[in-house]
Amino acid sequence: MSGAAFIAVDWGTTNRRAYRVEHGRATAAVRDSLGVLSVSGDAFPAKIEALRAELGPLPMLLAGMVGSNRGWVDARYVPAPASAADLAAGLVSPCENVFIVPGVCRDLADRPDVMRGEEVQFLGAVAEGLAPPDALLCQPGTHAKWAIMHDGKLADFTTAMTGEMFALLKDHSLIGSEMQGEGKADAEFRRGVEDSTRADLLSSLFAVRAGSVLGRRAAGTAAAYVSGLLIGTDCRARLKSGQTVYLLAEGRLARLYAIAIAMADATCIPVDSETAFIAGITRIWDALS
């Protein structure tokens, strides 16, 4: 189907991005908060037709959590190493002219792992020349993904529950009342990143409480510090001194990870995630026979 126009949808848990793609470029877009958790199983066909009403009567290629067991149809996983052609071979079609991209798994006893949606962006970043064929890529978030690319394929990856751990600590832990607001890219964040070098995360987290009780921690600084501890721990577990990481993020999260990566004596190169998604989903579309 190389060259044919289609609608590409990055359909996540809480958000959705849809694009009309023509000749490898997005010519129109719809962005909203209609994630899969807000759509019942039998309502997906109607949502598909509503997108077509806005973007055109075209075939559709969907990626992300829409293909999970919490989405429309479980599209399963293909094993790493995986290419765009491997993903195209594993597409699932829930109805005519609609296809769902499978996720990628690491099905090994020592550390099983799965991803769904990020694989399109990682493969697209390499395909578009935003990252080299052999590279380390990172997409931070609720579940931060670190991908090792080899010869342009997604060879291996690791998921870290960095963002989810921050949310759990803030909402359900003893130190949560200290963690007002979001982590900022300030001196307290840097201090948290530095303290992550102790490799004693659990003790450092309790010290947030102890520091407050003893009057050693200023009010309003805990969120940034804890963010630094978690992101610093995440980055130091993945990086070697002098390494380069290609970062698919934007805004505050991009700034936080860029600081932590630099403090780990590594180099951070930003990658536009939307451009990477369009490139990756186009490669999968072109691989359809």
Among residues 65, 83, 82, the alpha carbon closest in space to that of 74 is found at: 65
Q: Which of the pair, 10 or 182, is modelled with greater confidence?
A: 10
6-130+277-286: CATH homologous superfamily?
A: 2-keto-3-deoxy-galactonokinase, substrate binding domain (3.30.420.300)
Which neighbouring-strand residues pair with 25? 22
Q: Is the pLDDT of residue 183 over 90?
A: no
Structure-block tokens of residue 138 = 């990172």
Helices (H), the chain: 44-55, 84-89, 118-127, 162-172, 187-195, 201-213, 222-238, 251-263, 273-286
Question: Mean pLDDT for the chain?
Answer: 95
Whether residue 289 is predicted with pLDDT greater than 70 in this model: the reply is no
Going by pLDDT thresholds of 50, 70 and 90, the confidence category of residue 40 is: confident
C-alpha–C-alpha distance, residues 233 and 213, integer Å: 25
Residue 263 has a pLDDT of 97
Sorted by where each begins, the domain ranges of the chain are 6-130+277-286, 162-271
CB 5 within 8 A of CB 58: yes
Q: How far apart are CA 152 and CA 126, in angstroms?
A: 6
Angstrom distances, CA of residue 32 to CA of 11, 218, 248:
10, 38, 20
Q: Rounded CA gap, 18 and 26, in Å?
A: 9
pLDDT in tens, 93-146: 999 999 999 999 999 888 999 999 999 999 999 999 999 999 999 999 999 999
Rounded average pLDDT over 81-91: 97
Closest to 91 in 3D by CA, of 133, 66, 59, 61: 61
Percentages (nearest 5) of helix, strand, coil residues in the chain: 40, 25, 35
CA distances from 1 to 5, 53, 192, 210 (A): 9, 22, 50, 61
Contact between 77 and 104 (Cβ < 8 Å): yes
Give the class (CATH, top level) of 162-271. Answer: alpha beta
Report, as an integer, the average pLDDT of 185-198: 95
Are domains 6-130+277-286 and 162-271 of this chain identical in fold? Answer: yes
> What was the pLDDT predicted at 182?
80
pLDDT of residue 256: 97
pLDDT, tens only, 238-266 = 999 999 999 999 999 999 999 999 999 99
Closest CA to 247 of 117, 157, 136, 164: 136
pLDDT at 189: 97
What pLDDT does residue 17 have?
Answer: 97
Asked whether residue 1 carries a pLDDT value surpassing 70, the answer given is: no
The span from the CA of 109 to the CA of 105, in Å, is 12
**pLDDT value for 228:** 97
User: How much is the pLDDT for 185?
Assistant: 85
